[in-house]
Structure 1
Amino acid sequence: MGIVDDLERARAAFERRDWATAYERLAAGTDLQAADLLSLATAAYLVGDNDACIRALQRGYRLQVDDGNPLGAVRFAFWLGLVHNLRGEVAVGNGWSARAERLLADQPDDVVEHGYLRIHEFFRQLGQGDFAGALRLGTEITELARRFDDSDLLAQGLVCQGRLLMYSGRVPEGLALLDEAMVGVAAGEVSPIFAGNTYCAMIEACQEIMDFARASAWTTALTRWCDTQPDLVPYTGQCAVHRGQILRLHGAYGDALAEFNDACRRYAASGAQAAAGLALSECGDILRIRGDYLSAEASYDEAAGFGYEAQPGRALLQLARGRTPAALAAVRRLLAETGDQVHRSRLLGPAVEVLLAGGYVDDADAAAVELSGTATGFGCAGLRAAAEYSLALVALERGDPDHALPHARVATQVWNGLQAPYEVARAKVLVGRAFRLLGDEDSAASELTSAVRTFTELGAAPARQEVEKLLHRDIAGGLTGRELEVLRLVASGNSNTEIAHRLVLSDKTVARHLTNIFTKLDVPSRTAAAAYARDHDLL
């Protein structure tokens, strides 16, 4: 009676998503049935013990074979293939998939297990670059799921079909299928592993096409889903990355960096280190915006060590550091090797900036026009804002403020609606530049001053400095040449006596220079003066 009670308590823990308790009690159980072994495997996977998950699945597979239940064995073989593939052991995963196919060969054609094995085939076709074949398989998975009323299979089929429709340029259709998949997840109809995979696929798709409103809504839902399962290990890293992406959009750079660093820690703990590449790339982007170029480059390098190419962020970093030829080579290569509209959409905006910096105005114009067409077809606000910004940038480069101004204003409005302060400020800079070319200096100064204020609040030093130059500000704060020398030595950590010795001055004269520096720069201390010098590139 005690054993039965323990098993019932284990099953109850599983149902309430208390994965650690379910795992502990099921692992201690004896004479587990196939359904209990599948629950044990699921709980083990969700608490991050993949080895225990695989052992439970192997026991379940052998039990089903011994009981003469080939379809049950196929289910366990499917999961073994999936778990091995998820942890990067593709050869082993393919072996289990092949075994499942062999078991299914003698079974009727019209059984739902065929749909599950098509999932493995879908990812093989995708890996081989056969998008048409993968789309066909995704459609078949969805049809089988509907026929058998299988919620897990339906969620996976809709994700497969939806993502491939997006990559083939049919973005609204693809998003509609992803939304349908998420309805089943939100309604609790989908088992936890399929639910987690669906959440992450949906948010990743939204980020790819800059559909920030959808990404934000589903990231909030994913966070709630993870929070209801305190022992959960998978998906929490992805959740942190997606939260960080939304925080970055809203200009909360410090909080975003904390989320990305948390994601890296979670990925390391779960063994999914390759996934840390995206988080490190996102860190690099924020550090680049803040002007910490050395740290940004280190983050991009670390991302590359995990097999993630941190582009177009690295190209923009090269541009910021004056390495325009390298940036040009990178964006030309990326555009040449990226064919589908979804992935090109994230490259085109940065490509416009790099191409203009290199003097290739016609190429930049073509990229901006392509981005505008993509944004219209996709119907995503973020892409529209990026396209309008790019069109304005090209028009200004051609000295055409009449065409630049409406595009820049639309970019400002759309980014403002998305609550993206950095992008709003960048668009305001273009509005200000257009006003200046049209002879409206007061309006230009107002827009540029507003942008400076935002960049200062965000800590986006490079962008702020560029706008200050447009405003014709004396970034040296009116300092004399001698005062500038003193400031540089202060920023290098020299005392008054050391400065006096270096410049052949008296200590009293150095003190007077410091008083003038503090007054002109409106700073209260040596530390603040040194920070001003660093922020304004006076060193």
Structure 2
Amino acid sequence: MGIVDDLQRARSAFERRDWAVAYERLAAVDREAGATGLGPDELGTLATAAFLLGDTDACIRALQRGYRLQTDAGNVLGAIRFAFWLARVLNGRGEGAVGNGWAARAERLLVDQPEDVVERGYLRIHDFFRCLDDGDFPGALVVGEDIVAIARRHGDSDLLAQGLVCKGRLLLYSGRVPEGLALLDEAMVGVAAGELSPIFAGSVYCAMIEGCQEVLDFGRASAWTAALTRWCDSQPDLVPFTGQCAVHRGQILRLHAAYPEALAEFEDACRRYEASGSDVAAGLALGERGDVLRIRGDFAAADASYDEAAGFGYEAQPGRALLMVARGRVPGAVAAVRRLLAETGDPVHRSRMLAGAVEVLLAGDALAEAVAAADELDTIANRFGCAGLRAAAAYCSALVALADDDPDRALPHARTAARLWGELRAPYELARAKVLVGRAVRLLGDDDSASAELTAACRSFAEVGAEPARQGVERLIGRSPAGGLTGRELDVLRLVAVGNSNAEIAERLVLSDKTVARHLTNIFAKLDVPSRTAAVAYARDHDLL
């Protein structure tokens, strides 16, 4: 009765998502059963519990045993199921050669089986990801449609949700965003109804939210992130998917300019990814962290975070190019965005690059290229229809119009951007749009309205801790720059920054050496720094040069 009771307790724990108890009870039964051990079904359950606890080695061992039992019993379709999961788990942790070997073995076993079996649909999932790796988006879309058709014929909820996600993401990448989002919504119906097994449910959650983030559909992303958080919280022992959940929470917090909380989520995600060995995902979390640090003006920490992301194989762009502009390295930033735009083909990934590219290109006086990028973003935004993308496109249209000295054209775009960002409760982006409204109405001669818009933006930047943006608006308003430096003190500091001695500065500015020394003393006092080197570092980090 001991083994029977343990099996019943394991099944009950599994049903209530108590993965630790389920694993412990099944492992105990496995030990007590001696040479016979667990059967294939129980080994599948043990493997799932181990995976959800983050123990992929134990998961793989259980799957291998299940595969051998099914093979020995002549149950080919059962063996194919275990081979499918071995391929998925191994590929997921970066062991592509071994994982692909298991997928190939499953394909070989399938050759002599009936044509219309549901296992064929599961193996098509590997075909889908192979097409993606090869850049064959049309081929991947065909595979996604095939997975959905097989799943519907066999009434398999897991396979259907996976197929809908595959097809939906490909429709996004081909620019058919409303259709793609509709399929992702349909996949989520199965998750919300509790029809999916836990690994597929977690995968579909994350794929859905990633898709929404890619097209800046913040409404959907926020709603499903809240649902994913509840799902993760209902499983205290869960390890996979919790890192993604933390990243997605951080992204929503960043949208709402809750920067300290966003940083905490990104740092939590990094810890979780480090524990699970998910390198690329850790790179994403570090890239997002770098973006928040850049916005807050901690340029050195942002640079370090981007470097760490690159170490995990993640290129944090266009954030890194925007940081280069903020630190005065404009030619390098322009070269980077030109390369990125040349390398990025599909409209979804281009839409993520274009807004930053417009800002960088304008900083590099490449107005014609910036106009083209803004126009492309506007076209994509109109096709996709997502509010966040339309807001970004309106902002960029206003930005290039102002760069072209056309305030009449800029003003309606800036107001549209402000309205949309306000509806999305994005205070930092709203304040940026208000700056453009202020600049436009000032050029149209309405100084009072300009002052009101710029002052409101400055207050918002101060409230959320966006120091570089606040300083930029203060310069537009005409206030003293950070630290209260005078114009002459800034002149001296700029010459110090490029390596001039006191005598050289005196000669350049037609001052006495004593006056230059006095200016430096005042600079050190106002910036609360002890040396020339520290003053230059402060100036670079606070955009004073």
Q: Give the TM-score normalised by structure 2.
A: 0.89
Distance in 2 (CA, whole Å) between partners of 1:360 and 1:243 is: 36
Give the C-alpha shift of residue 273 in structure 1: 2.9
Q: Quick check: 1:402–1:434 contact (8 Å CA) kept in 2?
A: yes
Letter matched to residue 488 of structure 1: F
2:7 equivalent to 1:4: no
Q: Quick check: 2:484–2:526 contact (8 Å CA) kept in 1?
A: no
Residue 524 (structure 2) aligns with: 488
2:110 equivalent to 1:120: no
Q: Quick check: 1:487–1:533 contact (8 Å CA) kept in 2?
A: no
Tell me which moved more, 264-273 or 39-48. Answer: 264-273
Residue 26 (structure 2) aligns with: 26
Listed as ranges, the matches of 1:101-500 within 5 Å are: 101-475=107-481, 477=484, 485-486=521-522, 488-489=524-525, 491-492=527-528
Give the C-alpha shift of residue 271 in structure 1: 1.6
Distance in 1 (CA, whole Å) between partners of 2:241 and 2:543 is: 42
Q: Quick check: 2:253–2:262 contact (8 Å CA) kept in 1?
A: yes
Distance in 1 (CA, whole Å) between partners of 2:72 and 2:356 is: 59
Give the C-alpha shift of residue 484 in structure 1: 8.1
Q: Quick check: 2:243–2:269 contact (8 Å CA) kept in 1?
A: yes
Q: Secondary structure at the match of 2:227?
A: helix
Taking structure 1 as reference, are residues 312 and 493 closer, same or farther at Cα in structure 2, changes over 3 Å only?
Answer: closer
Q: Quick check: 1:273–1:306 contact (8 Å CA) kept in 2?
A: yes
Letter matched to residue 173 of structure 2: Y
Distance in 2 (CA, whole Å) between partners of 1:379 and 1:490 is: 49
Letter matched to residue 27 of structure 1: A
Residue 76 (structure 1) aligns with: 82
Distance in 1 (CA, whole Å) between partners of 2:123 and 2:485 is: 72
Distance in 2 (CA, whole Å) between partners of 1:461 and 1:38 is: 53
Distance in 1 (CA, whole Å) between partners of 2:322 and 2:70 is: 56
Residue 521 (structure 1) aligns with: none
Distance in 2 (CA, whole Å) between partners of 1:103 and 1:293 is: 55
Q: Quick check: 1:461–1:535 contact (8 Å CA) kept in 2?
A: no
Aligned residues: 503
Letter matched to residue 70 of structure 1: V
Taking structure 1 as reference, are residues 491 and 356 closer, same or farther at Cα in structure 2, changes over 3 Å only?
Answer: closer
Distance in 1 (CA, whole Å) between partners of 2:220 and 2:378 is: 20
Distance in 2 (CA, whole Å) between partners of 1:340 and 1:429 is: 31
Give the C-alpha shift of residue 474 in structure 1: 2.5
Which stretches in structure 2 are left out of the alignment for 5+ residues?
490-517, 532-537
Q: Quick check: 1:212–1:418 contact (8 Å CA) kept in 2?
A: yes
Q: Secondary structure at the match of 1:359?
A: coil
Give the C-alpha shift of residue 331 in structure 1: 0.6
Distance in 2 (CA, whole Å) between partners of 1:163 and 1:340 is: 12
Q: Quick check: 1:264–1:279 contact (8 Å CA) kept in 2?
A: yes
Distance in 1 (CA, whole Å) between partners of 2:167 and 2:119 is: 18
Q: Secondary structure at the match of 1:450?
A: helix
Q: 1:51 aligns with which of 43, 54, 57?
A: 57
Letter matched to residue 119 of structure 2: E
Q: Quick check: 1:81–1:96 contact (8 Å CA) kept in 2?
A: yes
Taking structure 1 as reference, are residues 364 and 537 closer, same or farther at Cα in structure 2, changes over 3 Å only?
Answer: closer
Give the C-alpha shift of residue 28 in structure 1: 1.5
Q: Quick check: 1:74–1:113 contact (8 Å CA) kept in 2?
A: yes
Q: Percent identity?
A: 73
Letter matched to residue 267 of structure 2: N
**CA RMSD, Structure 1 to Structure 2 (Å):** 1.9
Please give the per-residue CA displacement for 1:380-403, whole angstroms capped at 9, x wherever unaligned. Answer: 000000000000011111111111
Runs of 4+ in 1 over 2 A off after TM superposition: 474-494, 532-539
Q: Give the TM-score normalised by structure 1.
A: 0.90
Give the C-alpha shift of residue 488 in structure 1: 2.2
Letter matched to residue 25 of structure 1: R
Distance in 2 (CA, whole Å) between partners of 1:168 and 1:11 is: 43
Give the C-alpha shift of residue 461 in structure 1: 1.1
Q: Secondary structure at the match of 1:432?
A: helix
Q: Quick check: 2:212–2:221 contact (8 Å CA) kept in 1?
A: yes
